[in-house]
Structures are given as structure tokens and as C-alpha cells.
Amino acid sequence: MPVNPEQRAEIAALQAGRGETRRAVVPALEEVLFEPLPVLDHGFVRVVDYMGDDAAVVQAARVSYGRGTRRVSEDAGLIRYLMRHWHTTPFEMCEIKLHVKLPIFVARQWIRHRTANVNEYSARYSILDREFYLPAPEHLAAQSAANRQGREAPLSGAEAEAVLAMLRADAMRSHAHYQEMLNQDADGAVIDPDRRGLARELARMTLPLGTYTQWYWKIDLHNFMHFLRLRADPHAQYEIRAYAEVMLDLLARWVPLTHAAFQDYRLGAATLSAPALEVVRRMLDGEAVSQAESGLSKREWRELMAVLGRPADID
Amino acid sequence: MPVNPEQRAEIAALQAGRGETRRAVVPALEEVLFEPLPVLDHGFVRVVDYMGDDAAVVQAARVSYGRGTRRVSEDAGLIRYLMRHWHTTPFEMCEIKLHVKLPIFVARQWIRHRTANVNEYSARYSILDREFYLPAPEHLAAQSAANRQGREAPLSGAEAEAVLAMLRADAMRSHAHYQEMLNQDADGAVIDPDRRGLARELARMTLPLGTYTQWYWKIDLHNFMHFLRLRADPHAQYEIRAYAEVMLDLLARWVPLTHAAFQDYRLGAATLSAPALEVVRRMLDGEAVSQAESGLSKREWRELMAVLGRPADID
Amino acid sequence: MPVNPEQRAEIAALQAGRGETRRAVVPALEEVLFEPLPVLDHGFVRVVDYMGDDAAVVQAARVSYGRGTRRVSEDAGLIRYLMRHWHTTPFEMCEIKLHVKLPIFVARQWIRHRTANVNEYSARYSILDREFYLPAPEHLAAQSAANRQGREAPLSGAEAEAVLAMLRADAMRSHAHYQEMLNQDADGAVIDPDRRGLARELARMTLPLGTYTQWYWKIDLHNFMHFLRLRADPHAQYEIRAYAEVMLDLLARWVPLTHAAFQDYRLGAATLSAPALEVVRRMLDGEAVSQAESGLSKREWRELMAVLGRPADID
Amino acid sequence: MPVNPEQRAEIAALQAGRGETRRAVVPALEEVLFEPLPVLDHGFVRVVDYMGDDAAVVQAARVSYGRGTRRVSEDAGLIRYLMRHWHTTPFEMCEIKLHVKLPIFVARQWIRHRTANVNEYSARYSILDREFYLPAPEHLAAQSAANRQGREAPLSGAEAEAVLAMLRADAMRSHAHYQEMLNQDADGAVIDPDRRGLARELARMTLPLGTYTQWYWKIDLHNFMHFLRLRADPHAQYEIRAYAEVMLDLLARWVPLTHAAFQDYRLGAATLSAPALEVVRRMLDGEAVSQAESGLSKREWRELMAVLGRPADID
């Protein structure tokens, strides 16, 4: 359960609030405001605040281009134009703030995106709950033999069970030791009055990387899309992709025109290298190009054929 | 006049809008939302959007410190604590978006603050109006003899008049040439159908640095205060300080607790170097320390005595 | 002439220096170190310092991938792989520092790239020389009718001459007024002992945007390429493109493997949107797709056909 | 042992290299180039590359101030002036690149400094060694009762032994499970040919936060000092402070003039708030100010008295 009853009550109170504003309001996002959207077994994403909407992107672009944009009559067309030509600054004019609960090893990937603001729960000050990530059976995948950072199909029965048992046992025992070192039980009571308890900032180091942490994370719309492009990608680790997918839905609620352009010009787009473009031009001229004479490596050839929806015959 | 009747009507329409939101609302800032607050002779600052309030700073801090912050019962106390100890990330959780009209030479100082988002009016796309900055007589100051980047008292009558006449004449003539090169008059009509007109991106280069430009500028609360600390400082050039002072008032409206802490721990504070602290300790012990035996340079001695509110006798 | 005899002597002294280092050295870049490479009529770019080389990119990548990269035996292959898959952090591990002299209106475009370090000549402290940009006749282009930010062919004789005369006259007169307001002649001597002279920070505002300024500019290799991709693009204004082209040559000297990959995967590459890819797939299947039934706008259709090297027949 | 014999040989080869350069060379830093300087039980910091020296800071400042800086004849004086007045951009003109081996919980604090470049060893691609941090007895400290993020004196014998035993047992067993889940022993051999092995990106999540990781980390001199100011501070966790202290020594080798100014104006300096300054002024006027009538909280009063080297009597 991602939130406890106390938190649930706090969220309900926030959701009951209503204020009047002259600022842009996005009803579809207001609907889910403060609501924890579940991810993985104990995680969540919830929108805590936002600023701006599709119209704010358009307005910022019109400031830049001045009277020059009067000809582009529609917002959707202008947003598509901005996206297509990588005019990124108007998208920086909107912000979203999320509260995220996530395993530490996911947090470590996530934090590599530097253009964002973060306040993370501090295990120097406070004690971490006994919550850790255990993959569902269908995500307990084998190491890929072909791709060093990839996964293959899920492990089969006995091996999967053994793995889950080890993950659970390590996490449970480490957390029990954590409490014992802190000399404090789950209710915060002192275990042994004759002991002093290890400093929190040290005791945490015995906890596994699958332990859940949480943070507030704020980012502008341009960098939010950049994050999603990298983390909703099939090459991203499943566990961070699960978060990215929930956030993609939030993007669609928040800025539907921008989301549609993002689908066409980023998520569904492909960049072809100079040699790949040359191959496509030859093929369109009716030439039967083979990998061997394409100038592309086998790997690039396969990637190109996948993009073009053609078989990647390699002799 | 900073805005024309068309813009005035557009602003009135925005100000008439009302929406319902579950987000934090700051009534004192809503009051001035969209309103151009005049700065210099043709400039303005107007708040276009904002996100968060004092409570958002507190909430972000409580996420970091977890249950550890329950002891700090008051928001004001926690904000002062964060400010005093340079815990800056909670202040990054709020954003403000401004529309600013300002002379280009001011814009060139302003843009040096990199941690902000900007959409500037583009003179590649559109034509700049004939608006340029002419200092009021009390700001038409002489070069300081003591400080290479400083000003002294205003120029006296005849010199001031001569300077103003040159500034005005250069600006008027350059703008007339600008239009002539563009082959387009003030109403946008072609001047001479037999000429093609110089590209806008080139014609602009004859305009003086005192010409007004405008931009949307978005920044988080932490970096906003950093900007204000540098630009509301007496050493900042008067023209950018005039903007900073209007923005300080906006800060007070937006986040009054943060503004009060900012006054005490930043604007009104002073950093004493290790040698300066040593001098203060000796003075508090009753010793009559002179500059010569202080280990400080004359300049640092004067700065320290000013901070301490004491005469800077130097033998 | 971009540099004066005094500066020439200083540069020669720097170039004569030799030190012994254990760091990576790039002889092809050392050859041009400190040398001002001319751009436009008075501008230059000169490399002042650098850190790292192609091997430093590879080394950083191998730290990330650990033993996992042993299979990629060649540096060139690994660099191409990193570039193709947008693994950008290894390219951030190299730095270059340039001294650039450039017109202020170019500097205003340039500074929009925020991920760089800058020290600009300050006209608050010091006096600007009488150097301003005058386009060569072939760059004195007419405004494009089709594209609001574009240029067409050069202006013809009489119009060009008139424009040049205005640009020159404005610049000369503004600089003469600048000196008069400062009460200081070209040799730094006081003009009229009875006047006090306007503060430098104010006098500068009468100078035109074509005046030359200069700065030290430091950037990492990843962001350097990002800058070059945007500014060496045909849509960039000619004047900044002239700088980008000199810097592209420096890139080739500094990191030849990275430069080659950059040509293939960035400069010569094209991004096809989801609908554009669909068109290409249909065409490869032998279908005769027309713009009308392509789902692309006319503008996007023309862009796609240009990329594919095919005629853009639109009914 | 922080490095293995293979790495030792590689380092020796790098250290034997010699190249000729026209760039600035810092012999004191070259001396320790590539050398792993030990930190904690298995960690290290080693300088891998650098760019610039004290003179580069001065040169950048002189570009900004132009002829205006001719009066400041000495480099040391100019550097102290820049540091005192927070003119930070000239310090951004130097870079240092470090290879650091550090426990993951330290890496998580470290990475919060966003203005740096990082390539971290990836446990998606490669397998982590069985190296984890075990505090020396004198650092196995009790939780502070007064300060939620602080430590007190070390734990005494029996408690310390019990804690160490738990830390060691958790780390050993987790790493054994890690290998078992990967189905790969310490030499990289497959354990059980009938099992497929869990994906690396998943198996890592059972490892404790005390496990060592490593990265290349590059930062400019200004941000390096900002990092050191925060992390060499007595309030920083001991384990990251141990790294900061080694880096402070590197700073002194690299840019001795900057290091001296940093000591005086940052590390040894103190910022006094507006109310604290008022107290100091009253004390210097001979008044006997007490905490009660100072307007300062008890905590701020104690902090101020500590800075002033006076007893903090509170009634």
C-alpha cells in the first residue's frame, strides 16, 4: 500500500481545498492533483503543483517572434512547429512538481537528470520504513546474453522463487539489523536503554538498494519531455519506465497539444544518420541495397531496417 | 508610456479571468497579476504566472527532514533556519514568471544569470519600436574617479543637457536609418517599392544599446533571491537596481516569510573574513586595533568599519 | 585588423612557451593555440586552453560500462556508438576555452547557450574601441519575403551603398559622441578639463549593436557540439555561422574521431517524425504517395522530400 | 586496498608519460597526477586531468575589467578581491577531473551538486566487486540526542562490536546472494549451467548502500570550492568530509593563491545576520548585551558567541 491512512487523510484535505485564481487552470490535471498514482509494488507518483498549460507555451513563443507569429493562427500548429524545429525555450515556461516514492536504485538513475529541483527524504535525519521493491514474477527477468544492459524473458519457476526468497530475506534481515543498530523498534521505542544506538547516517548503509525513498521533484516542461524520451524508451530499465509511463499520462492531461506533438516528433520519430539517409535514397531510387554494400555496420543496418519496417537480411 | 491601448485591453481581459484551483493561491500577488509595474522611462515588470508560496517551501523541507522536522512547529522559524543554514533546495520549489521590458544594455547584464528561462522578443523576426532609454537628470551621473565601475553625483546643467541631446539625437537618427534600411515606415508601409529592404537581422545592428527590448523570464525562488541580492546591491548599476527594487516588492507580496528572512540573512547581513573576525574578537576584548596592525588592507579595513558602524580612522 | 601589435607580441610570447605535462596533449590543436583565427571584418576566435581528447571520451565511457566495454575494441567504434545513442556524458569530460571577439548582436545570440562559462569585457569598467561590424557586400542581404527570419540575395548596388553609408555613419558618429560624453579622446586624454564626463556604464548605451565586444568562453565538448549543431545550421544567421564554421575546424583538429561521428550522426543526419516515417515506409513498399494523402503539411512534405533527395511535387 | 595490481600498472604507465604543451602546467599537481590518494577503507581520489591555474583566473578577470585592472598589480591581490566580492566567473575558467571511489551512500550526497559532469560505473552493464565500507572504531558514532543529523562520541566496546558484526555480515551475505542470483562466481565463472541468472540491473538491488562504486567527476574551480565549502564543513557527514579534506589538499597544490583566499573568505569566514550585526555594534559600544534582549534565538545567540569567541551565557 503506497500511502498510510494518515497520509490518505492529509491528501483528502488538500483535494477538498478550492481557491480562486487568475492564472491558467488545467481541469484535467486538477482532477488528479495530490492523488498518488501507484507504480511498482509500493511506489507512486502524485502531482503536487503545476504552472502553465499549452497556451503558456504559445504565449512565450509569440513574445519571441513578436508580430511575426500572427500568421500562425492555430496554437496546435505553432506547438508542432516549435517541437519540429527544436525551439525549446517556450516549453521551459511551464513547470510541474511531483511527489514520487521509488526504490533507491531507480532514484540513482533518475537523479542523473540535473536540470530539475529535488528535495529527498533524508535518512540522516529520519528513519526509513521497512519498504523494499520485490519484482512481480513477470519482471524477474534473466540477464540478456546479447545485450549487456538488457533483460530477457522472466526466470522460470524454481530459479525465480529462489531469487525472490533471497531478495526478501536480505531486505528483511537488513532492516531488522538497521533497527537493532539504531536501538529503536518499529514504533520508535528504545530497544535497550543501556545502548546508545548508532547514528542514523551510518546505520542506513546496511539497507539494500531496493529500499524505497521519496522526494519532491520539480521540472520544466521541456526537461520533463527530455526525461520521458529517455526513460519511456524500451532500452530504459523496466522499473524506471514504469514511472515514465505514468508521467506520460500526466503529460497528456496537462498539455494535450504538446503531448500529441511530442508523440509525433520525439517518441515516434527516428533520427537517420548521413549514411543511413544515403541508403534510404538509394532504396527509393529502386536500388536493392544490401548491408554489405550499405556502408553501415550490421547493428546499424538492423536498426535502420527496423525503423523502415523491412526485414534485415544480412548475408 | 510602457504599454499601448491594445496591450492595456489585453491585460484587462486577463485580469478579469477567474478560475478555480486546488493549488496554493497567493491573494496579494494575484492582486497585481498581469499589471505592468513601471520601471525607468519606458520599462516595466509584470507577473505573468507563479507557483507555490511560503507553505510550499516548508512542505518541501519537511519532505527532506521527514519526521525530524516535527519539532519545528512554526513555518516562519523553519524558513529562517533554512535561510540561515543555506539549505537552498526547498526555495527552488517555487517559481515566478515575469514579463519585463528593459533597455538592451540592462538585458545584457541580466542574462548573465544562467539559471532562468527566457523568451526574448526577436529582432530577426520582428521590428523594434522606437523606444530608448533616456536617464532622468538625477541619474545622469559622472564617472567616479575612485571606482572604475562607479558613478558620482549627477552632471551639472550644461554638460547634462549636452549629453541628453547626444543620446536622443543618436537614438532618433539610428531608428530613422533602421526604418529606411528596412524600407518600411512606422506604420509598416513600404517606403520605396523599388527597394527590397535590408534583412531585419542586419538592420538592427545600427540601433543603440539603450533601445528597449522585452522578454518572458521565469526563475525559481532561490535563484530569484540570488539575482536580487546581486542586483539590489548598491554596487549594481542604477538601471538594473531599479528593476530589482520593484521585484523585491513582488517578493514581499508573494512569500512574506521568506522575504523577511531574506532581509535579515542576506540583504542586511555581512560576511566577515577570517582576518576580519580576528579584529572583531580583539576589539571585543577591549583592544584598540588600528588598521596598520589589523592585517587588513586599507580597503578591507574601511569595509569592515562600515559594517561595524565605526569610524575608519587610518593613520 | 583583429589584433594590435601589442597583442600580437603577447600572443607570440605565449606561443613560444613550452611545458612538460603528463596530461593528454593534442598536437594539431597546440599548433593553433593562442592564434587569433579571423572571422568577419574585425572578429576572431582563438583557443586559449583545452582539456582532454578523443581518448578521454573513450576512457570516461569505459568507466561507466566497466568490463562491459571490453568487447568494443576500437575507440572510433565506441565514439560512434556513444554519439548514435545519445550517450552524452562521456563527451562532457573534455573542455575547450576560447577567446572570441564578436559584434554585440552576435554575442546576444551566443549567450543564450547557458551551459558555458563566460568572462566578457566590461564597458562599465573600461572603454570600448571604435570597432564595429560592416557586412561585406555579398552579405548585405535583403529581407526574405517567404521567411520572416531569413535573408535573400544581396542588395543591389545603389541600395547596398546607401545602407553601408548609413551603418558607417551611425557607428562613427555614435562613437564620437561616446568619447565626447566620456570627455576622453581616443588616446585616453581628457578633452575638456571643465567637464566631469558621463559614467562609462551610461555612455555605452549610445553605441550601436554592431560594436565589437570580446570574451573568454569555456564549454565542454558535448555542449560545444550542441552549440555548433544549432549555429552551423543554414537557418542560423550568417554572422554567427561564420564563427561556428571556424569552430568546426577547431573541433576537427581537437577530437577528429568525435568530429567524424558528429558529421554523420548530427550535422548530416535528419530526424523523421512518426508520420514522415510512415510515408517513407509506404514509398519503399512501392506506393506513389502524394502530399495530399501523406498526412503531412505542405511545409513538412517539402522538408521531407528535401531530406530524401526527391522532387516535392505538390498538386 | 583501493587499487589492484593491474590498475597499479596502468597508473604507472600513465605517470610515466610525458608530453610537451603550450598550456599552463602546474608542477605540484602533475606530481600527484593519476595517483590514487586513499580515503576511508577502500576509497580513493585521484586527479585525472586539469585545466588552468591561478594565472588563468587572473587572466579571465582582466578580460572582464579590461584596462581597468592594470592598477591591481599583483595576482594575489586580484584573486583576493574577486573572492571577497563574489566575482565568481573567473574561477569558472579552470577545471579539474577526478576519479573517485566511494560508498554509494556518500555518492548519493555528492551527486546532489548538479553543476558537475559525471560518468559512474554502471551496475546495469557490469558486476560490482565485494567491497563495502566498514567504519573504523573511532567513527562508529552514536546518534546525537541534541541534533537529529549529528553524531556523538563513538559507541563503546560491546555495542561497537555488535554493530560491526552486523554491517559485515549483511554486506557479505548480500554480496554472496548477488553472485548467486547472477549465477556467476567471483572469477566470473557460471555457477550452475542449468540456471539463466538474474539480470544485473535487478540483482544489484540486494546490495547495501555501503557498497563501493566509482566515477569520473569533472567540475570547474568555482563549483569545486562551493562543494568543498559545504562538504568540508563540520556539519557534513564524516564520510564525505574525509573526501573533501583530500580535495582541499589538491586545491592547495593546484591553485595556491586561490586556496589561500578561499581559506580567508570562505572556510574561515562567518556571515552575520542583520540582527547579529546589531548585537556586535552594541557590544563594541560597550553595552553588555544578553541573549534575552538581543533579539536572537538561543540557538542563533550560541552560534554568534561561538563565532566571536565569547562565552554564550544564557539566563
Beta strand A270-272 with C37-39: parallel, antiparallel or unpaired?
A: unpaired
- pLDDT per residue over C138-150, tens digit each? 999 998 877 777 7
Any chain D CB within 8 A of the CB of C271? Answer: no
- pLDDT per residue over D74-114, tens digit each? 889 999 999 999 999 999 999 999 999 999 999 999 999 99
Instruction: Quickly list DSSP for chain D.
Output: --S-HHHHHHHHHHHH--EEESS---HHHHTTTTPPEEETTTEEEEEEEEE--HHHHHHHHHHHHGGGGTT---HHHHHHHHHHTT--GGGGG-EEEEEEEEEHHHHHHHTT--SSEEEEPPTTTSPPPS-B----GGG-EEEPSS-TT-EEEEPPHHHHHHHHHHHHHHHHHHHHHHHHHHTB-TTS-BS-TT---B-HHHHGGGSBTTBEEEEEEEEEHHHHHHHHHHHSSTTS-HHHHHHHHHHHHHHHHH-HHHHHHHIIIIIT-EEEPHHHHHHHHHHHTT----STTTS--HHHHHHHHHHHT------
Of D22, D33, D97, the CB nearest to C93: D97
For residue D144, the model assigns a pLDDT of: 84
CATH 3.40.50.720 given to domain A1-128+210-269: no
Q: How far apart are CA B11 and CA C255, in angstroms?
A: 52
For residue B312, the model assigns a pLDDT of: 83
Residues in chain A closer than 8 A to C275 (CB atoms): 264
Dihedral of alpha carbons D88, D90, D95, D96, sign: negative
Q: How far apart are CA B269 and CA D86, in angstroms?
A: 15
Under 8 Å CB pairs connecting chains A and D tally to 161
- pLDDT per residue over A140-171, tens digit each? 999 887 777 778 889 998 999 999 999 999 99
Dihedral of alpha carbons C103, C106, C112, C116, sign: negative
Q: Global pTM?
A: 0.96
**Touching B: which chains, 3+ CB pairs < 8 A?**
A, C, D
The residue-averaged pLDDT of D230-245 equals 96
Q: How far apart are CA D64 and CA C92, in angstroms?
A: 26
Any chain B CB within 8 A of the CB of D76? Answer: no
* Record: contact C148-A271, CB cut-off 8 A: no
DSSP annotation of B31 reads T
Which phi and psi angles does A136 have, rounded to 5°?
-65, 155
Q: How far apart are CA D87 and CA D57, in angstroms?
A: 11
Which phi and psi angles does A182 have, rounded to 5°?
-70, -15
- pLDDT per residue over A68-121, tens digit each? 455 455 889 999 999 999 999 999 999 999 999 999 999 999 999 999 999 999
Nearest CA in chain C to A230: C86
Cell readout for D210 is 555501503
For residue D67, the model assigns a pLDDT of: 56
For an interface test with D, which of A198, A213, A217 has the most D Cβ atoms less than 10 Å from its Cβ? A198
For an interface test with C, which of D95, D125, D219, D223 has the most C Cβ atoms less than 10 Å from its Cβ? D95
Percent of chain B with pLDDT over 70: 97
Helical (H) or strand (E) element with B271: strand B270-272
Exactly one of C46, C200, C204, C231 is catalytic; which is it? C231
Any chain B CB within 8 A of the CB of A12? Answer: no
- The owner of cell 548521413 is A274
pLDDT above 80 (res D68): no
- The owner of cell 504565449 is A59
For residue C118, the model assigns a pLDDT of: 97
Of A65, A264, A274, the CB nearest to C273: A264
Helical (H) or strand (E) element with B43: strand B43-51
Angle at B32 between CA B29 and CA B35, to 5 degrees: 145
Q: How confident is the model at residue B99 (pLDDT cuts 50, 70, 90)?
A: very high
Which phi and psi angles does B15 have, rounded to 5°?
-70, -25
Nearest CA in chain D to B147: D68
Intra-chain end-to-end CA distance of chain A, in Å: 53
For an interface test with B, which of A119, A128, A200 has the most B Cβ atoms less than 10 Å from its Cβ? A119
Cell readout for C9 is 607580441
Q: How confident is the model at residue B97 (pLDDT cuts 50, 70, 90)?
A: very high
Residues in chain B closer than 8 A to C182 (CB atoms): 143
Tell which residue, B222, B28, D218, B215, has the closest CA to residue A218.
Answer: B222
Cβ(B289)–Cβ(B283) below 8 Å: yes
Tell which residue, D80, D88, D273, C113, has the closest CA to residue B230.
Answer: D88
Task: List, in sequence order, every residue forming a beta bridge with D208; answer none if it has no partner.
Answer: A208
Cβ(D100)–Cβ(D229) below 8 Å: no
Mean pLDDT (chain C) is 93
Any chain C CB within 8 A of the CB of D202? Answer: no
Tell which residue, D227, D252, D257, has the closest CA to residue D110.
Answer: D227
The residue-averaged pLDDT of C179-204 equals 94
Residues in chain A closer than 8 A to D152 (CB atoms): 196, 199
Residues in chain D closer than 8 A to B272 (CB atoms): 269-272
Residues in chain A closer than 8 A to B215 (CB atoms): 63
For residue C220, the model assigns a pLDDT of: 98
Q: How far apart are CA A99 and CA A47, in angstroms?
A: 6
For residue D315, the model assigns a pLDDT of: 63
The residue-averaged pLDDT of D172-186 equals 96
Amino acid at C6: E
Of D265, D308, D310, the CB nearest to B273: D265
* Record: contact A280-C281, CB cut-off 8 A: no
Chain B: nearest CA to A153, how far in angstroms?
38
Q: How far apart are CA C181 and CA B206, in angstroms?
A: 19
Chain length of chain A: 315
Fold of C5-133+210-267: Gyrase A; domain 2 (3.30.1360)
For residue D74, the model assigns a pLDDT of: 84
Question: Residues 217-236, chain A: which have Cβ within 8 Å of C?
Answer: 230
Cβ(C49)–Cβ(D51) below 8 Å: yes
Tell which residue, C168, C61, B98, has the closest CA to residue D119.
Answer: C61
Any chain A CB within 8 A of the CB of C115? Answer: no
Cell readout for A55 is 497556451
Beta strand B43-51 with B95-103: parallel, antiparallel or unpaired?
A: antiparallel
Chain D: nearest CA to A297, how far in angstroms?
22
Q: How far apart are CA B287 and CA D6, in angstroms?
A: 62
For residue D1, the model assigns a pLDDT of: 54
State the angle between helix axes of B75-84 and B54-65 in degrees (0 to 180), rounded to the nearest 10: 70
Exactly one of B46, B80, B200, B231 is catalytic; which is it? B231
Residues 6+ apart with CB under 8 A from B290: B313, B315
Chain B: nearest CA to C71, how far in angstroms?
40
- pLDDT per residue over C118-134, tens digit each? 999 999 989 999 999 99
Residues in chain C closer than 8 A to B150 (CB atoms): 199
Q: How far apart are CA B51 and CA B220, in angstroms?
A: 9
Tell which residue, D108, D158, D112, D166, has the closest CA to residue D135.
Answer: D166
Q: How far apart are CA C189 and CA A298, in angstroms?
A: 71
The three-class DSSP label of residue C279 is helix
Of A68, A265, A309, the CB nearest to C281: A309
The residue-averaged pLDDT of B250-263 equals 98
* Record: contact C68-D126, CB cut-off 8 A: yes
Q: How confident is the model at residue B65 (pLDDT cuts 50, 70, 90)?
A: confident
Beta strand B151-154 with A117-120: parallel, antiparallel or unpaired?
A: unpaired
Residues 6+ apart with CB under 8 A from D134: D41, D164, D167, D168, D171, D210
Q: How far apart are CA D28 and CA D55, in angstroms?
A: 15
For residue B184, the model assigns a pLDDT of: 94
Q: How confident is the model at residue D210 (pLDDT cuts 50, 70, 90)?
A: very high
Cβ(A70)–Cβ(B60) below 8 Å: no
Cell readout for D177 is 546472494
Please confirm, yes or no, whether D231 is among the known catalytic residues.
Answer: yes
Of B149, B265, B273, the CB nearest to D269: B273
Question: Residues 83-102, chain D: which have Cβ within 8 Å of A?
Answer: none
Tell which residue, A235, A271, A73, has the closest CA to residue C276.
Answer: A271
Domains of chain D, residue spans: 1-132+210-269, 274-308
Under 8 Å CB pairs connecting chains B and C tally to 161
The residue-averaged pLDDT of B278-293 equals 95
Nearest CA in chain B to C176: B166
Beta strand A270-272 with D117-120: parallel, antiparallel or unpaired?
A: unpaired
Nearest CA in chain A to C86: A230
For residue A67, the model assigns a pLDDT of: 56
Of B17, B89, B118, the CB nearest to A22: B17
Q: How confident is the model at residue D73 (pLDDT cuts 50, 70, 90)?
A: low
For residue B150, the model assigns a pLDDT of: 78
The three-class DSSP label of residue C284 is helix
pLDDT above 90 (res C274): yes
Which phi and psi angles does A135 have, rounded to 5°?
-60, 145
For residue B36, the model assigns a pLDDT of: 97
Any chain B CB within 8 A of the CB of D67? Answer: no
The residue-averaged pLDDT of C162-166 equals 97
- pLDDT per residue over C63-111, tens digit each? 887 654 554 558 899 999 999 999 999 999 999 999 999 999 999 999 9
Instruction: Kindly indicate whether the ipTM for this predicted assembly is greater than 0.85, answering yes or no.
Output: yes
Q: How far apart are CA C248 and CA C243, in angstroms?
A: 9
Spans in chain A with pLDDT lower than 70: 1, 66-73, 315
The CATH label, of 3.40.640.10, 3.30.1360.170, 3.40.50.1950, 3.40.50.300, for the domain at D1-132+210-269 is: 3.30.1360.170
Q: How confident is the model at residue D265 (pLDDT cuts 50, 70, 90)?
A: very high
pLDDT above 60 (res B216): yes
- pLDDT per residue over B161-207, tens digit each? 999 999 999 999 999 999 999 999 988 899 999 999 999 999 999 99
The residue-averaged pLDDT of B65-73 equals 56
Helical (H) or strand (E) element with A99: strand A95-103
For residue C99, the model assigns a pLDDT of: 97
The three-class DSSP label of residue C79 is helix
Chain A: nearest CA to D112, how far in angstroms?
8
pLDDT above 70 (res D9): yes
Of B105, B142, B180, the CB nearest to C205: B105
DSSP annotation of B198 reads B
pLDDT above 60 (res B1): no
CATH code of domain B1-133+210-269: 3.30.1360.170
Helices and strands of chain A, counted as H and E runs: 12, 9
Cell readout for D136 is 573504523
* Record: contact D89-C118, CB cut-off 8 A: yes
Residues in chain D closer than 8 A to C61 (CB atoms): 119
Residues in chain D closer than 8 A to A112 (CB atoms): 111, 118
Chain D: nearest CA to B72, how far in angstroms?
12
For residue C315, the model assigns a pLDDT of: 63
Strands (E), chain C: 19-21, 37-39, 43-51, 95-103, 117-120, 141-143, 151-154, 212-220, 270-272
Residues 6+ apart with CB under 8 A from D55: D24, D75
Exactly one of D46, D80, D204, D231 is catalytic; which is it? D231
Cβ(B278)–Cβ(B263) below 8 Å: no
* Record: contact A20-B24, CB cut-off 8 A: no
Chain length of chain B: 315
Question: Residues 131-160, chain B: which have Cβ within 8 Å of C?
Answer: 133, 135, 140-144, 148-152, 155-156, 159
Residues in chain B closer than 8 A to A59 (CB atoms): 216
Cβ(B145)–Cβ(C184) below 8 Å: no
* Record: contact C155-B196, CB cut-off 8 A: yes
Cβ(C36)–Cβ(C45) below 8 Å: yes
Chain A: nearest CA to D8, how far in angstroms?
27
Any chain B CB within 8 A of the CB of A163? Answer: no
What is the separation of C-alpha A263 from the centre of its chain, rounded to a whole number of angstroms? 16
